[in-house]
Structure 1
Amino acid sequence: MPFEVPAGLSVRLSQVAGASRATVFMVLQASLATLLTRLGAGTDIPIGTPIAGRTDDALD
């Protein structure tokens, strides 16, 4: 399901990522893990994302 990130939030995410020497993707993934933890999912939360171009069978 597509969604749009408001311009102000996008700027703030970029600032947080830059200050943390991380990517916006990493900030969003950490935010999701934090939300799930606070909702009671525990602290060991595997979040998978598909990555194109990885040819190692172990990554499947």
Structure 2
Amino acid sequence: MNNLPKDPVMLLSVVNTNLRDFYSNLDEFCKAKDADKQEIIEKLKMIEYTYDEEKNQFV
């Protein structure tokens, strides 16, 4: 997750934008960005966002 924002709000923006524009699910995003899926989920949970598979975004 070296090239992803550390701030949860900024991370939310980057992840949701990428999911909307480039990736069909969170697993694809994490693989392409060499990011830890659980780390993203936990960081966004801190600001009360969870991943919705059906919407393919954090809500």
TM-score by length of 2: 0.36
Say which structure, 1 or 2, has more relative contact order (CA 8 Å, 6+ apart).
2
TM-score by length of 1: 0.36
Between Structure 1 and Structure 2, the one with more helix by share is 1
Between Structure 1 and Structure 2, the one with more strand by share is 2
Structure with max Cα Rg:
1
